[in-house]
Amino acid sequence: MLLYNSLTHQKDEFQTREPNRVKMYTCGPTVYHFAHIGNLRTYMMEDVLEKYLTYSGYQVMRIMNITDVGHLTSDGDTGDDKMLKGAKREHKTVMEIAKFYTDAFFADCEKLNIKKPEYIQPATGCIPEYIHMIETLLQKGYAYEAGGNIYFDTSKLEQYYRFHDFKEEDLEVGVREGVEGDENKRNKADFVLWFTKSKFDDQELKWESPWGLGYPGWHIECSCISMKFAGEYLDLHCGGIDNAFPHHTNEIAQSEAYLGHPWCPQWFHVLHLNDETGKMSKSKGEFLTVSLLEQKGFSPLAYRFFCMQSHYRKTLVFSWENLKNAQTAYDKLIAKIRTLLDTQDAVDDAKKAELLGAFTAAMDNDLNTAQAITVLYDVLKADTTAATKLACVAEIDRVLSLNLIENAKALGAEDAAQEIPAEVLALVEQRKEARKAKDFAQADALRDQIAALGWQIRETRQGTEITKIS
Ligand code: AMP
Ligand code: ZN
């Protein structure tokens, strides 16, 4: 399988240290609010990756942290710590907030068929591990104490930047309005491993440490939690693209300095879901959650289908119109599969292998789910038995997790096959010819005739869609 690796900037052959076993780490949510559907795009694509690796015969060990203590990324953080902000907003303790939003996160995951990782670790549960790693970094000369905090010294590394070619001056925080630089730092890229003094002094959760009462920096949790379960080596590390810097860069810095050897060779980053105004956020504009999609009448799996239709390395733009189209296409797909369920025929094994070969070829090429959806439509159009098609759909859905067969079974038989009258099909054919001949006036006239008979047509990547006007 070829998978794009952010560390090498190319598609690499996927590799593991132990045969057929993958140790996979996922940066988990910061549980101060609901996840937005952008966050969930990342988790969904990671879920597809995990499921495809399992499909391909790997045993996958998957680890995820839950950030339930401070989420301080850089000098650019303003206002309160995010967890504390959540607690103040809802008049609860930080731990109550963490519990509530952790449960809410997994409830959203369940609706989107995102499998729970095997190992889930709240960050507050590993304080001794962080202290141990920080003590070792101090002993090895990779960390220093200044102004009450412990910092990682990035100048001690041969190579600090891994995913980007940043210039130090671009990190100059003072140039951004309202951002104060941290005077204690020896180098601009240095980051905090342990706070005893910070601008967020009213931090609710604090622990004893050799450096005084305090709390960990954000990055340390992922290094320690990964090592707690996977040991000294990971095969694959995942997250959204915004995590590449500084979070993942810092994870690599401290992990490799601590271990004294390379840590994780493959990095998988999912590009963002944006709304039409740009970046998706939990504070500005409409806060897009799974519950909001449901309130507006969409099924969470239609959103999953929407995400699968595009490649994880492309920025995806969300709009209600786009989601509506995905819901329509998803419903039609289910209805089409419904028509296959009542047929009693046999699986053609050779044909099944050929069709699934196209599916694995798509997924082996950097997890091309968009192409895999095209293969799904090809399966339904293929010249073969219903049983063969159903067998292929079932296999493909082990990875895409769209509940295709379950939902088709649940669909009342009367809602299934919309029998398209021969008259309508004939007009559609004539329209196709007119379009081919670039006679658009005639094509439009035929579209009107089709509409007068109660049907509407829409051109999609998969061909002409014909639906009954309701
Ligand atoms: P957070 O809860 O902020 O730590 O983010 C959880 C995950 O969502 C991380 O892997 C982020 O990189 C990812 N993420 C944040 N914003 C977006 C977005 N707009 N689209 C896709 N993934 C995102
Ligand atoms: Zn992380």
Q: Would residue 6 count as lying in a domain?
A: no
Q: Which atom of ligand 1 is nearest to the CA of 239?
A: 10
18 and 135 assigned to the same domain: yes
Least confident of 111-120, 183-192, 319-328, 355-364: 183-192
464 and 375 assigned to the same domain: no
**pLDDT for the residue numbered 49:** 98
**pLDDT for the residue numbered 177:** 38
Protein residue with least CA distance to atom 12, ligand 1:
240
Exposure string over 248-261, b if 16+ CB within 10 A, otherwise e: bbbbbbbbbbbbee
Helix, strand, coil share of the chain (percent; to 5): 45, 15, 35
23 and 122 assigned to the same domain: yes
**pLDDT for the residue numbered 84:** 80
What domain range is 314 assigned to? 303-409
Cβ atoms of residues 425 and 386 within 8 Å:
no
Q: Which residues pair with 63 in a beta bridge?
A: 25, 119
193 and 142 assigned to the same domain: yes
**pLDDT for the residue numbered 179:** 45
Q: Is the pLDDT of residue 237 over 50?
A: yes
Q: Is the CB of 214 under 6 A from ligand 1?
A: no
**pLDDT for the residue numbered 277:** 84
Residue 288 C-alpha to ligand 1 middle, in angstroms? Answer: 13
Q: What is the biggest distance separating any 2 CA atoms in the chain, rounded to whole angstroms?
A: 82
Q: How many other C-beta atoms can be found within 10 angstroms of the C-beta atom of residue 181?
A: 15
Mean pLDDT on 71-85: 61
Q: Is the CB of 240 under 6 A from ligand 1?
A: yes
116 and 148 assigned to the same domain: yes
Q: How many other C-beta atoms can be found within 10 angstroms of the C-beta atom of residue 277?
A: 10
The token duo for 353 is 């292998």
Q: Which atom of ligand 1 is nearest to the CA of 29?
A: 2
368 and 416 assigned to the same domain: no
Q: Would residue 275 count as lying in a domain?
A: no
Instruction: Report the alpha-carbon distance of residue 85 to residue 73 in Å, rounded.
Output: 15
Q: Is the CB of 248 under 6 A from ligand 1?
A: no
Cβ atoms of residues 229 and 129 within 8 Å:
no
Residue 146 C-alpha to ligand 1 middle, in angstroms? Answer: 31
339 and 363 assigned to the same domain: yes
Q: Find the CATH number of the domain harbouring 197.
A: 3.40.50.620
Q: How many structural domains is the chain composed of?
A: 3
pLDDT digits 0-9 by tens, 27-62 = 999 999 999 999 999 999 999 999 999 999 999 999
Q: Would residue 286 count as lying in a domain?
A: no
Residue 218 C-alpha to ligand 2 middle, in angstroms? Answer: 8
pLDDT digits 0-9 by tens, 94-119 = 889 999 999 999 999 999 999 999 99
Q: Would residue 9 count as lying in a domain?
A: no
pLDDT digits 0-9 by tens, 172-195 = 443 333 345 788 999 999 999 999
Model pTM? Answer: 0.85
Q: Would residue 288 count as lying in a domain?
A: no
Mean pLDDT on 145-152: 94
Hey, which of 30, 32, 41, 42 would you mutate to test ligand 1's pocket, going by the most ligand atoms within 8 Å of its Cβ? 42
Q: Is the CB of 237 under 6 A from ligand 1?
A: no
Q: Which atom of ligand 1 is nearest to the CA of 241?
A: 12
464 and 326 assigned to the same domain: no
Q: Which atom of ligand 1 is nearest to the CA of 280?
A: 19
The token duo for 439 is 């006679």
Secondary structure element (H or E) that encloses residue 423, with its range: helix 422-436
Q: Which of 409, 442, 460 is the last residue of a domain?
A: 409
254 and 311 assigned to the same domain: no
- The number of angstroms, rounded, from the C-alpha of 319 to the middle of its chain's C-alpha atoms is 18
Please, is 100 exposed, middle or buried when counting C-beta atoms within 10 Å of its C-beta (0-12, 13-18, 19+)?
middle
